[in-house]
Amino acid sequence: MNYQSKSSPMYVWGMTLILVFVGVASSFFFVDRSFVRQNIERLHLSSNASEKRVIAIGSSLLGHATFYDYFMSDFGREKGFDAFNFLQITRGSGSLEDFAPLMHVMATAKPNIVVIESNLLLLRDNKISRLNVAIRRHKKYLRKILFLPLRYVLGSKPRKIEMTRDLPYEPARLNPTFLKFALDDMKEQEVRDVVLPMEMEEFIICAREQKITVILADVPRYEMLEDVILQSPMNQQKMSALILDLQTKYGIEYLKYPDKLGLDNYVDFYHFNQKGRERYSYWLLSCLSKL
């Protein structure tokens, strides 16, 4: 008996495409909600700690410069520093606007210290593809939304991610071709402005009233990328003026990383490897222990 295969009607394909489009478009909304909800829960949990509490917010640069949460606390104890309860909240390609919904909860958690990555003061636009930037920014959370339920359905347990594991130093990865790609990528992300969002200004005022120390911390890239990050003398002037204003008006501390690190501290010109992470974490903890 012969069966003839029939293709699906056009309206089925049309409905499928519409659903895919709506799903992708709405996923960014749910990703933002997921980011905020997840970290609100973590902030509430951190408020019960007895040690000196530190909340650090930043982009993926900070994520690769400090150890994650209790790993950072353990590292500090190993190096002989004070007992810190460290909470790291990071978001790839982020700016301070992304953290605005967390500001009130961050203040009510009453940490002793809040560390803000200075790169978050930059508002960047991608000249070529805004969608590309959005996907890169949200990919970690999209991966969780898409694959974690699937793992449970298949009966496999989610793998525990150990944030202490870094890619090793590989000179082959840090070649002129990769450097050109990194420089081109940096130039594509046009700096729209250097600004302090209103929500952050309100948080800083509230933090000062509650005697919370707010710190702006530099997280360096490889020096050739640092030379192009601000893209113009005007942006450099804006950044310097804003940092000075934060210091004089609000008493914020600015920590500038003092060393020029060689390539053996990096994994991809942007992010530290294990050696770089240990050096930066030691420096940051030594600064925090003096406060």
Report pLDDT digits (tens) over 198-230.
Answer: 778 888 888 888 888 999 999 888 877 776 666
Rounded Cα distance between 156 and 135, Å, is 27
How many Å apart are CA 165 and CA 238, to the nearest integer? Answer: 37
What confidence tier does 155 reach under pLDDT thresholds 50, 70, 90? very low
CB atoms within 10 A of CB 19: 10
Could you tell me which of 76, 107, 90, 268 has the C-alpha nearest to residue 199?
Answer: 107
pLDDT at 151: 45
Output the pLDDT for position 237. 78
| CATH top-level class of 50-127+165-288 | alpha beta
pTM value surpassing 0.75? no
pLDDT of 208 reads 86
Extents of the domains making up the chain: 50-127+165-288
